[in-house]
Structure 1
C-alpha cells in the first residue's frame, strides 16, 4: 500500500468531518472538542489551523485515497504531533507510515504526543515512530 502526505485541499475537509464525527473514532481517541460535533466549529477550527504558519498539516493518502490527516503544532519548545486515520483504514500501518513521514518535516525535538492510555493502536504507532513515554506522555527525543 502506498502511503503519502500532501498539502491539505478544500476537498479533504468533508472527509475529515466524516472521520471526526465517527463515534467509534471519538471513543478511541478519548478526547473530543466542539468541532467534533458542530460543523460550524469544525469549519472555524480548520480555518484557524490553515492560517497558522507554525502548523504543519498534511492530508494522509493511502493508495491515493484520503485516509486522514496529520499535523505538528505548538510553540517551538513544545511541538506536538497529532494524527487521525479514518476507521476504514485502521490496522493497515497507515498511521505509522504517515507519522514517520510527518516527523521528517519537523526538525524540532523533542516532539510530544498524546494518546489515551487504553488506545493500544495509537500507543504502538507512537512507539514504532520512536516515541517513548516520558512522565505521562509519549515524547520523541533526539537519538544518541
Structure 2
C-alpha cells in the first residue's frame, strides 16, 4: 500500500493539496495552494532531504494519498494527505498503521486542526494520544484556530 514517491505522482499530489475542502480541513497549509512553483520547490526540498521519509499511499495500483515524517524543532512529526474524493474509506488509518513500521523514531508527533475530527480519529486509532493544544494562524481558513498536538510513544 505504501511505495516511494515517483516524479509522475507530482500532479496528483498537487491537486489533492489544493482542493478547497481539503485545505480547509488541514488548515495549516501553503499560503497559496494554487502556486505550482511554490509546491514544486517545497516538494523538491522534501524529496531531497534524507531525513524526510516520503511515501505514496496506493490502492489497487492507484495513488490515493501521501504520508511522510520529518523533524521540526527537534520533534519527529507525521503528516499525511488523502485524495478528498476518497475520504472515509479507511485509507488514512491503514496508511498510518503501515507507516509506523517504517518510521522507528518515538515519540512521534502529529498535529490536526481541532475541527478536523476525521484526522484526529485516524491518529487515535493508531495509538496517538492528545498531549496538548496550540493556537496559530491557519492559511487554509484565513484565521487563527486551535490545533491539537498528538503523540505516539
TM-score, normalised via structure 2 length = 0.86
Alignment match, 1:32: 29
The residue aligned with 1:140 is 152
Structure 2 stretches of 5 or more lacking a match?
134-148
Deviates most, 13-22 or 33-42:
33-42
Change (3 A) 1:46 1:110: same
Task: Give the gaps of 5 or more residues in structure 1.
Answer: none
User: By how many angstroms is 1:76 displaced?
Assistant: 9.4
Which of 99, 106, 109 is the matching residue for 2:106? 109
CA RMSD in angstroms comes to 1.3
- 1:60·1:67 contact (CA, 8 Å) conserved in 2? yes
Give the TM-score of the pair, scaled to structure 1.
Answer: 0.92
Any residues of structure 2 matched to 1:37-116 within 5 Å, and which? 37-74=34-71, 77-116=74-113
3-state DSSP of counterpart to 2:112: coil
Q: Is the 8 A contact 1:34 1:41 kept in 2?
A: no
Offset at 1:77?
Answer: 4.7
Aligned pairs, number:
138
Query: Displacement, 1:47?
Result: 0.5
Judging by fraction of residues, say which structure has more helix. Answer: 1
Query: Mean alpha-carbon deviation: is it higher for 26-35 or for 120-129?
Result: 26-35
Cα distance between partner residues in 2 of 1:64 and 1:90: 18
Q: Does structure 2 retain, via aligned residues, the 8 Å contact 1:76–1:108?
A: no
Runs of 4+ that moved beyond 6 A: none
Higher strand share: 2
